[in-house]
A and B are shown apart, each in its own frame.
Chain A
């Protein structure tokens, strides 16, 4: 990971946290309770594919806790971020080429893995993140049906924004 790629990740971190906190979280209150878009996990998804899991977990926790601070929803986004860091490797495994990802694929982005694989991989990754987030947000099994409904709605809206983000910024590193 060279200096310019670190800068890209830092900028992405700041940009996604700002977008999530200052725009997307506010839209839920305006548009409706089922309109939830969780875009900040893209920071975790776009971290280098060769990065070891413990770093992914810690960085996931870091991005989550900062989003928590803006909401505020202490610990819920942090928990979901750490979870996404932990499962990123497993959720992208089915979409890896034979022999796994190599140095040729620095990040899981359409520019390296193609649009179809990117949408499939990010759909699974985002779905798991959102499910974990709403499970811990409601924090009681009695809300099971509500959790599933919100997860489904949020997943659909989030994937739309993921595609838009990837098309607009087309990240390469």
Chain B
């Protein structure tokens, strides 16, 4: 006790005052009911506010992880959606499509569980061009991530392109805004209306849909989706909507020429998914049996 007193006296009145006030304060909030209650409320409020601020800061710093995790969830859901659509398998000897739940139902033809067909791989576009007639993107996934040539690249809003070349860590994607790009799409409101989507240059938000027969009555703003008649894009992925009234195709008057406004703004492509068709090798091998002239 004596050394403490000496210390207090040596360090002047202020330290003594501070310590004695702290002691008084402790006595007050421990022995006086009203003071104890007010103190508990105040510290509760302040503590709650501090915790909330801390949580906000933690949330902010973990946004990247949250976004990454959400991108994975989106991929997983897209894969399930695409695979669920794919479960519409034709039943032998009929023209009807039968829906199959990819998780619980079985294919009545094969009598076994239907396997999923697509796998989505999250990626980010790190380079993109839209100004030329042959546009390309580079994504931050490559051979090491399971990316192979001829895989489709999509975003949740629309279609982006097709992987053409891969390095270990990156891939070169031929944009849909490329003169050689040709995507099989469908008009889901029409029955069996399939055609090819091409880009004729110019407006980067507009493509041309050809080979839809004249007898279809296509309305403006009708949705356009992928047809599923390719080994790359799954069925039903959004592409855009019909822009303006369709005209007769000047190159082939039996078909319509339809302008399509893309739902994905190609100038702002950032988060994309690369689609891996798990049966592609098998289907390629099957297709190779057909001779070149017959294809």
Contact = CB atoms under 8 A, between A and B. Distances in A.
B292 interface: no
Interface in A17-46: none
B13 A75 contact: no
Interface string A47-68: 0000011111110010011000
Contacts of B9: 52, 54-55
A52 B13 CA distance: 8
A136 B28 contact: yes
B12 A79 contact: no
Interface residues of B, number: 23
A75 B32 contact: yes
Interface stretch (A80-88, A111-119, A153-161): A80-88
A73 B28 CA distance: 8
Interface stretch (B15-23, B175-183, B237-245, B269-277): B15-23
B12 to A, nearest CB: 7
Interface in B20-71: 20-21, 23-32, 34-35, 38-39
Nearest to A53: B13
Given A54-B8, A139-B34, A79 B21 contact: yes
A118 B248 CA distance: 110
Contacts of A136: 28
29 contacts: A52-B9, A53-B13, A53-B17, A54-B9, A54-B12, A54-B13, A55-B9, A57-B13, A57-B20, A58-B16, A61-B20, A61-B24, A65-B27, A73-B32, A75-B24, A75-B25, A75-B26, A75-B28, A75-B31, A75-B32, A75-B35, A78-B20, A78-B27, A83-B17, A86-B13, A136-B28, A139-B28, A139-B39, A140-B38
Interface of A: 52-58, 61, 64-65, 73-76, 78-79, 82-83, 85-86, 89, 136, 139-140
The 7 closest A-B pairs by CB, nearest first: A53-B13, A75-B27, A75-B28, A79-B24, A74-B31, A54-B16, A86-B17
